[in-house]
Amino acid sequence: MIKFIRLIQNENMKMFSQVSNWVMLGFYFVIIFFNVAMAPVDETDQFVADPFSYFLSSADTPMVVITTLSIIWAAGIMAAEFSSGTVKLLLIRPVTRTKILWAKYTLVVLYALVLSILYYVLTLMFGFLLYTDASLSSEGVMILAKAAGLSFLESLFMITLAYMIAVISYNRSLALGVSMFLYLTNTVIAFFLQTKPWSKFLFFTQLNLTKYASHDGAVSALNTLAFALCVLGVYFILFVVATWVTFSNRDVAS
């Protein structure tokens, strides 16, 4: 276990030694501030009854950014070792491949988790700064927490998908391209496939989880949150096993 933590520490060191990471984090903060700047400040705005909750509920653009950044890391963190050849020196240590594989994955998940938590903390902070007399109803907290949790699950699923493609293909661009495409178009694909009954068993039609945050669970009789989570869960296990089996048995010849 200590070794596993040291591996995560290593991955973290490599992540933060790269300039691209700082550029991406800069982008993340820019988006958060942009979102704050776009908040409705006029409290007498007739279209918005409660500007504070409106601000909170409309603030899901940064979540797209967090998921995107996580996908970029998930696609690159292993593929980069292969394209630079460093994987040869990485895998000849007294550490099993399984540990190296999941240390990298864990770091990307932690990255997404930290960015998400930081985002919600900052959003609430700015919310209270902007609307000094606002108070948060318990219902509002529930919706916010639910949205946060569900969007994190979306990120987690996308990370797993991107990581699997990257590990199996050693190809960063392919992993990034396919994952981003599915992530950005999943609602459109789901819409086109909605007349087909089998489509609800495809993971990308169930990917949009945040829509369940404001409803009471069911969108339609068959499409409940529980059902969506089951479908995604099955795919998740499939992806994890595929990633693990491929990586631990493959010859490294790059």
| Chain residues that interact with another protein, rule: CB under 8 A | 3, 6-7, 9-10, 13-14, 17-19, 84-86, 88-89, 91-96, 249, 251-253
Shortest Cβ distance from residue 244 to another protein (Å)?
A: 16
SS (H, E, C) the chain: CHHHHHHHHHHHHHHHHCHHHHHHHHHHHHHHHHHHHCCCCCCCCCCCCCHHHHHHHHCCHHHHHHHHHHHHHHHHHHHHHHHHCCHHHHCCCCCCHHHHHHHHHHHHHHHHHHHHHHHHHHHHHHHHHHCCCCCCCHHHHHHHHHHHHHHHHHHHHHHHHHHHHHHHHCCHHHHHHHHHHHHHHHHHHHHHCCCCHHHHHCHHHCCCCCHHHHCCCCCCCCCCHHHHHHHHHHHHHHHHHHHHHHHHHCCCCC
In the complex with another protein, the residue whose CB is nearer, 21 or 199, is 21
In the complex with another protein, the residue whose CB is nearer, 97 or 200, is 97
Crossing angle of helices 97-130 and 61-84, in 10° steps, is: 150
Shortest Cβ distance from residue 1 to another protein (Å)?
A: 13
Shortest Cβ distance from residue 116 to another protein (Å)?
A: 26
In the complex with another protein, the residue whose CB is nearer, 10 or 185, is 10
Shortest Cβ distance from residue 88 to another protein (Å)?
A: 4
Shortest Cβ distance from residue 66 to another protein (Å)?
A: 23
How many of the other CB atoms lie within 10 Å of CB of 250?
12
Rg (CA), the chain: 20
Shortest Cβ distance from residue 185 to another protein (Å)?
A: 33
